[in-house]
Structure 1
Protein backbone atom coordinates (compact mmCIF):
# COMPACT_ATOMS: atom_id res chain seq x y z
CA UNK A 1 0.00 0.00 0.00
CA UNK A 2 1.45 3.34 -0.96
CA UNK A 3 1.64 6.17 1.58
CA UNK A 4 -0.76 8.22 -0.51
CA UNK A 5 -3.43 5.53 -0.45
CA UNK A 6 -3.02 5.10 3.34
CA UNK A 7 -3.74 8.79 3.86
CA UNK A 8 -6.80 8.63 1.62
CA UNK A 9 -8.11 5.59 3.55
CA UNK A 10 -7.64 7.39 6.89
CA UNK A 11 -9.31 10.51 5.56
CA UNK A 12 -12.25 8.49 4.30
CA UNK A 13 -12.72 6.73 7.66
CA UNK A 14 -12.73 9.86 9.81
CA UNK A 15 -16.08 11.51 10.35
CA UNK A 16 -16.46 15.02 11.74
CA UNK A 17 -17.49 15.22 15.38
CA UNK A 18 -21.06 16.57 15.45
CA UNK A 19 -20.54 18.02 18.95
CA UNK A 20 -17.81 20.41 17.81
CA UNK A 21 -20.03 21.88 15.13
CA UNK A 22 -23.12 22.21 17.36
CA UNK A 23 -21.45 23.28 20.61
CA UNK A 24 -21.20 27.01 19.75
CA UNK A 25 -24.85 27.07 18.72
CA UNK A 26 -25.89 25.32 21.94
CA UNK A 27 -23.81 27.71 24.07
CA UNK A 28 -25.26 30.68 22.19
CA UNK A 29 -28.78 29.41 22.85
CA UNK A 30 -28.09 29.16 26.58
CA UNK A 31 -26.67 32.71 26.65
CA UNK A 32 -29.71 34.06 24.81
CA UNK A 33 -32.08 32.25 27.21
CA UNK A 34 -30.21 33.74 30.17
CA UNK A 35 -30.52 37.31 28.90
CA UNK A 36 -34.13 36.98 27.72
CA UNK A 37 -35.65 34.91 30.54
CA UNK A 38 -33.58 34.36 33.66
CA UNK A 39 -31.97 37.77 34.16
CA UNK A 40 -35.20 39.83 33.85
CA UNK A 41 -36.98 37.51 36.32
CA UNK A 42 -34.17 37.93 38.85
CA UNK A 43 -34.33 41.70 38.45
CA UNK A 44 -38.12 41.70 38.86
CA UNK A 45 -37.88 39.55 42.02
CA UNK A 46 -35.33 41.93 43.56
CA UNK A 47 -37.51 44.96 42.79
CA UNK A 48 -40.58 43.25 44.31
CA UNK A 49 -38.63 42.33 47.46
CA UNK A 50 -37.45 45.96 47.79
CA UNK A 51 -41.05 47.27 47.43
CA UNK A 52 -42.31 44.85 50.09
CA UNK A 53 -39.44 45.74 52.44
CA UNK A 54 -40.30 49.44 52.07
CA UNK A 55 -44.02 49.08 52.90
CA UNK A 56 -45.35 51.83 55.16
CA UNK A 57 -48.70 52.73 56.67
CA UNK A 58 -50.90 54.48 54.13
CA UNK A 59 -49.45 52.83 51.02
CA UNK A 60 -52.01 51.57 48.51
CA UNK A 61 -51.50 47.89 47.67
CA UNK A 62 -52.96 45.18 45.47
CA UNK A 63 -52.67 41.58 46.62
CA UNK A 64 -52.00 38.58 44.40
CA UNK A 65 -55.70 37.72 44.78
CA UNK A 66 -56.66 41.14 43.37
CA UNK A 67 -57.79 42.81 46.62
CA UNK A 68 -57.14 46.56 46.70
CA UNK A 69 -56.54 48.29 49.99
CA UNK A 70 -54.46 50.59 52.14
CA UNK A 71 -51.72 49.39 54.47
CA UNK A 72 -52.92 49.84 58.04
CA UNK A 73 -50.05 48.20 59.94
CA UNK A 74 -46.83 46.41 58.95
CA UNK A 75 -45.57 43.49 61.04
CA UNK A 76 -42.44 41.37 60.63
CA UNK A 77 -43.96 38.77 58.27
CA UNK A 78 -47.48 40.09 57.67
CA UNK A 79 -49.29 43.25 56.60
CA UNK A 80 -52.65 44.51 57.91
CA UNK A 81 -54.59 45.91 54.92
CA UNK A 82 -57.71 48.04 55.24
CA UNK A 83 -60.00 46.95 52.38
CA UNK A 84 -63.19 48.75 53.48
CA UNK A 85 -64.35 50.99 56.31
CA UNK A 86 -64.03 48.88 59.44
CA UNK A 87 -62.58 45.87 57.58
CA UNK A 88 -58.92 45.07 58.10
CA UNK A 89 -57.40 41.87 56.71
CA UNK A 90 -54.02 40.35 57.48
CA UNK A 91 -51.87 39.13 54.55
CA UNK A 92 -48.43 37.59 54.32
CA UNK A 93 -45.94 40.04 52.83
CA UNK A 94 -45.30 37.90 49.71
CA UNK A 95 -49.04 38.16 48.91
CA UNK A 96 -48.57 41.85 48.06
CA UNK A 97 -48.31 42.10 44.26
CA UNK A 98 -48.24 45.87 43.66
CA UNK A 99 -47.43 48.87 45.85
CA UNK A 100 -48.26 52.53 45.22
CA UNK A 101 -46.69 54.92 47.72
CA UNK A 102 -49.04 57.25 49.58
CA UNK A 103 -47.66 60.39 47.90
CA UNK A 104 -48.40 58.95 44.40
CA UNK A 105 -51.66 57.21 45.37
CA UNK A 106 -53.85 60.21 44.57
CA UNK A 107 -52.39 60.77 41.09
Structure 2
Protein backbone atom coordinates (compact mmCIF):
# COMPACT_ATOMS: atom_id res chain seq x y z
CA UNK A 1 0.00 0.00 0.00
CA UNK A 2 2.70 2.52 0.98
CA UNK A 3 4.83 1.57 -2.01
CA UNK A 4 2.03 2.41 -4.43
CA UNK A 5 1.46 5.79 -2.73
CA UNK A 6 5.15 6.71 -2.87
CA UNK A 7 5.22 5.64 -6.52
CA UNK A 8 2.39 8.05 -7.36
CA UNK A 9 3.88 10.96 -5.40
CA UNK A 10 6.16 12.24 -8.23
CA UNK A 11 3.24 12.14 -10.67
CA UNK A 12 1.02 14.14 -8.30
CA UNK A 13 3.81 16.67 -7.72
CA UNK A 14 4.25 17.08 -11.47
CA UNK A 15 0.56 17.91 -11.89
CA UNK A 16 0.70 20.44 -9.04
CA UNK A 17 3.73 22.17 -10.57
CA UNK A 18 2.08 22.11 -14.02
CA UNK A 19 -1.01 23.81 -12.58
CA UNK A 20 0.91 26.64 -10.93
CA UNK A 21 3.37 27.17 -13.80
CA UNK A 22 1.13 26.86 -16.87
CA UNK A 23 -2.60 26.57 -16.23
CA UNK A 24 -3.12 29.24 -13.57
CA UNK A 25 -1.27 32.07 -15.42
CA UNK A 26 -3.17 31.25 -18.63
CA UNK A 27 -6.49 31.50 -16.80
CA UNK A 28 -5.41 34.87 -15.37
CA UNK A 29 -4.54 36.20 -18.86
CA UNK A 30 -7.91 35.03 -20.21
CA UNK A 31 -9.73 36.79 -17.37
CA UNK A 32 -7.83 40.06 -18.02
CA UNK A 33 -8.55 39.84 -21.77
CA UNK A 34 -12.26 39.26 -21.13
CA UNK A 35 -12.37 42.29 -18.79
CA UNK A 36 -10.61 44.44 -21.42
CA UNK A 37 -13.10 43.40 -24.11
CA UNK A 38 -16.07 44.07 -21.84
CA UNK A 39 -14.72 47.55 -21.02
CA UNK A 40 -14.44 48.65 -24.68
CA UNK A 41 -16.14 51.96 -25.38
CA UNK A 42 -16.86 54.07 -28.42
CA UNK A 43 -13.80 56.18 -29.27
CA UNK A 44 -11.22 53.75 -27.86
CA UNK A 45 -8.14 53.17 -29.99
CA UNK A 46 -7.35 49.48 -30.36
CA UNK A 47 -5.05 46.96 -32.01
CA UNK A 48 -6.53 43.80 -33.54
CA UNK A 49 -5.02 40.33 -33.72
CA UNK A 50 -4.33 40.98 -37.42
CA UNK A 51 -2.29 44.07 -36.60
CA UNK A 52 -4.85 46.69 -37.66
CA UNK A 53 -5.01 49.91 -35.64
CA UNK A 54 -8.17 51.96 -35.47
CA UNK A 55 -10.82 53.74 -33.47
CA UNK A 56 -13.97 52.02 -32.20
CA UNK A 57 -17.06 53.56 -33.83
CA UNK A 58 -19.78 51.02 -33.02
CA UNK A 59 -20.23 48.32 -30.42
CA UNK A 60 -22.50 45.31 -30.73
CA UNK A 61 -22.91 42.12 -28.74
CA UNK A 62 -20.06 40.32 -30.45
CA UNK A 63 -19.03 42.80 -33.13
CA UNK A 64 -16.99 46.01 -33.06
CA UNK A 65 -17.05 48.68 -35.77
CA UNK A 66 -13.49 49.88 -36.34
CA UNK A 67 -12.55 53.02 -38.29
CA UNK A 68 -9.15 52.44 -39.90
CA UNK A 69 -9.01 55.76 -41.79
CA UNK A 70 -11.54 58.48 -42.51
CA UNK A 71 -14.33 56.81 -44.47
CA UNK A 72 -12.92 53.28 -44.05
CA UNK A 73 -14.75 51.17 -41.50
CA UNK A 74 -14.58 47.43 -40.90
CA UNK A 75 -16.42 45.10 -38.59
CA UNK A 76 -14.62 42.53 -36.49
CA UNK A 77 -15.31 40.20 -33.63
CA UNK A 78 -14.70 41.49 -30.12
CA UNK A 79 -12.36 38.58 -29.46
CA UNK A 80 -10.02 39.87 -32.20
CA UNK A 81 -9.12 42.90 -30.07
CA UNK A 82 -5.71 42.33 -28.50
CA UNK A 83 -4.84 45.70 -26.98
CA UNK A 84 -6.41 49.04 -26.08
CA UNK A 85 -4.04 51.91 -26.81
CA UNK A 86 -3.81 55.18 -24.87
CA UNK A 87 -5.86 58.05 -26.30
CA UNK A 88 -4.07 59.96 -29.05
CA UNK A 89 -1.80 57.08 -30.08
CA UNK A 90 -3.17 56.97 -33.60
CA UNK A 91 -2.56 60.13 -35.61
TM exceeding 0.5: yes
- Give RMSD over aligned pairs: 1.6
- 1:93-104 pair list within 5 angstroms: 93-100=78-85, 104=86
Q: Where in structure 1 do 4 or more consecutive aligned residues deviate above 3 Å? A: none
Match of 1:42 in 2: 27
Separation in 2 of the partners of 1:61 and 1:94?
A: 12
Higher Rg of the two aligned structures = 1
Q: For residue 99 of structure 1, report the CA deviation from its aligned partner.
A: 1.5
Q: For residue 24 of structure 1, report the CA deviation from its aligned partner.
A: 1.2
TM-score by length of 2: 0.86
Corresponding residue SS for 2:68: strand
Separation in 2 of the partners of 1:24 and 1:88?
A: 57
Aligned length: 88
2:21 matches 1:26: no
Q: Which has the higher strand share?
A: 2
Q: Which runs of 5+ in 2 are unaligned?
A: none
- If asked which structure has higher relative contact order (CA below 8 Å, sep 6+), I would say 2
Q: Which runs of 5+ in 1 are unaligned?
A: 1-15
Separation in 1 of the partners of 2:29 and 2:5?
A: 36
